[in-house]
Amino acid sequence: MEKCPYCSKDMLDGTLLGDRKALKWKPRDKTLLPGLWACGGLTVGSHVPTARAEARAWFCSYCRKVIIDVDNC
C-alpha cells in the first residue's frame, strides 16, 4: 500500500485509463496543436493499438490526488 505524499494516509491502488489514444500529460505552458495532441508533452502508460491505454495510479480519497509513477507504468 502506498502512502500519500501530501497527507500520509493510505492510497488506493488502481489504473488510469484512456480510450483510443495513449494517455498524455501536457505542461501547462504548452498549447494543443491539431494532429500533435501534446507537442512537448509526456506519454504516460502503455498503449497497444488494439487495447485501451492505461497506467498504474494511486488515488488518495482524503486529499483527492492521483499519483502516477511514469517509470513503472
pLDDT in tens, 32-41: 666 555 566 6
Beta strands (DSSP E) in the chain are 12-17, 23-25, 42-44, 54-60, 65-67
63 vs 29: which has the higher pLDDT: 63
Closest CA to 53 of 39, 43, 62, 63: 43
What's the total number of domains in the chain?
1
In a domain, 66, yes or no: yes
pLDDT of 17: 78
pLDDT of 9: 95
In a domain, 2, yes or no: no
Residue pair 58/72 in contact by the 8 Å Cβ criterion? no
Q: Which three cell numbers stand for residue 57?
A: 495510479
Q: Which residues span the domain enclosing 33?
A: 12-72
pLDDT of 53: 78
68 vs 46: which has the higher pLDDT: 68
In a domain, 3, yes or no: no
**Whether pLDDT at 12 is above 70:** yes
Q: How far apart are CA 52 and CA 30, in angstroms?
A: 25
